[in-house]
Structures are given as C-alpha cells and as structure tokens.
Amino acid sequence: MDEQHIIALRGADIYQEDNLVLSQVNLEAGPGQMLYLVGRVGSGKSSLIKTLTAELPLRTGEGAVCGFSLRGINRKQVPMLRRRIGVVFQDFQLLTDRNVTDNLLFVLRATGWRDKEAMKRRIAEVLDLVELRYKEYKMPHQLSGGEQQRVVIARALLNNPEVILADEPTGNLDAESSDGIMQILHAIAASGKAVLMATHNVALMRRFPGITYKCERGRLTLLDEQVAEIDFGSLMEL
C-alpha cells in the first residue's frame, strides 16, 4: 500500500460473519478528501466501515488504514489503529449519566491520557471546533439532537485521528441540524483528514459535494461524475 492514501482497499472481499456482502472492493481515500458511501439498507455500507476499523476481519484482498495492514492485524495493534480513526454514529452512544466534559474525559482516560491540564486543553479545543465550548457542563438530555451529534464529533476528534468514519451521522436530525453537521465534517476534511460518510441523504450530498461510492448487488462502484452531476433519481430508492 502506498503512503499517500489514508484508506486503501484493493480486491477486498467484505464479510458479515460468513456472508459475503461486497466482493472485489477497491476504495481509496487521501488527506483532505470527503467521500460518500451510498446504497440500500443491507447493501454492505456498515460492514465496510466495520472492516476499516478491524471490527470485522479482512479475509481476502489487500487493505490498509492509517498505515496498518488489515489482513492479519493482531489484537495489540487494533487499539492503536482505532486511536487514529474517529467514528461518528447515528445514535450518538453518549454516556447519559455524564455531562459533555465527562463524556470526553472518559475517552481520553481510556486512551491513555493522564495529564489533567492537557486533557482540559484538548477538550476545549474540540468543543471549539464543533461550536459547543459553552455547553461543556450540559447533560446529553439537555442538548438537542444536533448538539449531541456535535459532541460525538468532538469525541471522535479527541486523539487527532487521520480519518473520520461517519455512519449515517445525520439520520436522526432535522435539515438545519444536518446542515450544521455537514459543515463541520467538510471543515474537518479541509483540515487535511479523510472523511468517509455513509448516508441516504441525497439533499445533503447535493449541497456538500464529494467523491461518491455506491454499494449495489454485492459491488462497490465509484461514481464517475461529481455528486452535483449524478442522476439523483437513481439514488432516491436507496
């Protein structure tokens, strides 16, 4: 695998347990790129993302993420790989009994941070990036859905990852909140990270263009045209 790509899959077969869901996958993502992953429910989008985090094993083909080979990656390497990946979920997965700061502190402590002042500074930095600096003491239930998702993005950024993997991050949000989340994700990509986002939201893809891959009939296809030029009628059924 060459060093210019943060993500590189070549001839990779993607399995969910013993079921082959995508075959001969070729996917590349470099610094500063915004990529979309589209496809029907069950077409393999989430399985592909789980393969990139080594939650699902890569059995055939080549794969590398952030310099780690996915083929035969050992257990000791998996936590190191995941520290270089930020994951954003649709359903937030925040600790409901802790405020924003404590949610972020939990992740820092779990990933080896010990310096209290350094942790305080890093939390302030990521909350600034998602425009939530003055809500650090709010509990999750005191935040809107869009604000909770901003906390999730802040959490994903804590260890300064090279890539953000976002699985339907706007799926539970209204249009205004979704726009705000997309602005943040595009800003993250513009800062030099790779962002790969699984989505069904055609309107957002039209407003925030990127490189688009489609999961369909067991294959991953790079759509040749820029997203603004795609026949979105063909995606409305997704």
Report pLDDT digits (tens) over 9-29: 999 999 998 999 999 999 999
The answer on pLDDT for 123 being more than 60 is: yes
Q: How confident is the model at residue 3 (pLDDT cuts 50, 70, 90)?
A: low
The answer on pLDDT for 224 being more than 70 is: no
CA 202 to chain centre: 18
Mean pLDDT of 87-112: 91
Q: How many CB atoms lie within 10 A of CB 183?
A: 13
The answer regarding whether domain 1-84+164-172+194-238 maps to CATH 3.40.50.300 reads: yes
Q: Give the contacts of 196 (CB within 8 A, at least 6 positions apart).
A: 7, 29, 35, 37, 49, 52, 163, 164, 165, 166
The percentage of the chain sitting over the pLDDT mark of 90, rounded to a whole number, equals 78
Query: In this structure, what DSSP letter does residue 143 have?
Result: S
34-48: pLDDT as tens digits: 999 999 888 999 999
Locate the domains of the chain by residue range.
Answer: 1-84+164-172+194-238, 91-160
In 77-167, beta strands by DSSP E: 85-88, 163-167
Q: Give the contacts of 36 (CB within 8 A, at least 6 positions apart).
A: 197, 198, 199, 205, 210, 211, 212, 213, 227
Q: How confident is the model at residue 236 (pLDDT cuts 50, 70, 90)?
A: very low
Q: How confident is the model at residue 91 (pLDDT cuts 50, 70, 90)?
A: confident
- For the chain, the first-to-last Cα distance in angstroms comes to 32
